[in-house]
Amino acid sequence: MFSLRKEKTTKISIVFISLLALLLLLTACGQTESLSDKNTTDPSNGENSVSDATNNEESAKEQVVKDAMGHEVKIPAHPQRIIASYLEDPLVALGVKPVAQWSVGNGQTVQDYLQTELQGIPTINYDLPPEEVMSFSPDLIVIGSESLVQNGLYEKYAKIAPTYVLGDEISNDWRKTLLKLGELLNQSDAAEKMLQDYDQKVKEAKEKLQNAIGEKSVAVLWLTQKQFYMVDETRSSGAVLYGDLGLNPPNLVTELSEEAKATWNPVSLEKLAELNADYIFLVNSDKAQGDITLNDPIWQGIPAVKAGHVYEMSTSSSWLYSGLIANEKIIEDVLKTLVK
């Protein structure tokens, strides 16, 4: 598993991803390595499964619940063919393989960091055309934002399968999203345990980083189409570095006005000359012209660049995403880079 205002972030991100065959946001775990062992269905046949270890078949019951838009939705006790576009991170964390996975550009762009678990899962376009949704015969559809079911789309989805809308308040918070999906899939205990484990890993990582770099500041930049973007301190990888790990944001991040804030905020190369960061994590999605930008004297004159403290993260990494799995992979990258 992009000034921009919060409500426009997802659409803008999708445009950039489409043009570059990369990704992201509107903006889940140590269990990742064992997920392939927990799933009992071959992903290549388009069916998904719930781990026997995390799903109590005897106690699970059909639920009638109200979603964020007030719809009463009958959730199957054991849904087997789930479509939850752009919610694959928490699904995978819970040991569930969707029947189709989010993509952009006719399947050319997917959430690369999840492909070990989602290998063989067919793609579906990010805007969920009803005809495509119907072709997968889902037994449960989960939608993130209310904006994605406007103009009669909800009614079309609901005719295909029970359709639950999380709503922006939940879908913009990866923790709430994981807990809600755990609730819907009768895995609340598992979801809560995952968050406890995550918090413990964060605590341990935070201590290591404090010992390694102390109060030094860290910036996260995304380069695409010769334009730099700087992550907000409360979202995506910014929330992990500054919120969870307690790393210090640089001056340009703290100076962002509330009105201008988005998950990824455009910043000119000239403005970056003022960047006061000890370390820079760079996601370079501009493989066509990125070298030109990164060889510019202004970039080369930034103190962290001159000091050799720029660490380039792969475009297939999870740095543009948010979720339990994405966040844990980000933490692993930070530790490998900054803790010697």
Domains of the chain: 6-194 (3.40.50.1980), 208-338 (3.40.50.1980)
* pLDDT for res 14: 39
Rg (CA), the chain: 20
Sequence-distant (6+) residues with CB within 8 A of 16 are 2, 22, 24, 224, 225, 285
pLDDT band at 262 (very low <50, low <70, confident <90, very high): confident
Model pLDDT for residues 298-322, shown as the tens digit of each residue: 999 999 999 999 999 999 999 999 9
* pLDDT for res 106: 82
Residue 30 has pLDDT above 60, yes or no: no
Distance CA(224)–CA(237), nearest Å, equals 17
Residue linked to tokens 């399947």: 107
Q: How far is CA 33 from the centre of its chain?
A: 18
Section 329-340 average pLDDT: 96
Sequence-distant (6+) residues with CB within 8 A of 205 are 245, 331, 334, 335
Looking at 12-16, 222-226, 328-332, which range is the least confident one? 12-16
Q: Residue 272 is which amino acid?
A: L
* pLDDT for res 29: 35
* pLDDT for res 289: 84
**Where are the strands (E) in the chain, listed by range?**
63-66, 72-75, 82-83, 101-103, 123-125, 140-143, 163-165, 218-224, 227-231, 264-267, 279-284, 310-313
Residue 216 has pLDDT above 60, yes or no: yes
Strand 227-231 relative to strand 218-224, pairing: antiparallel
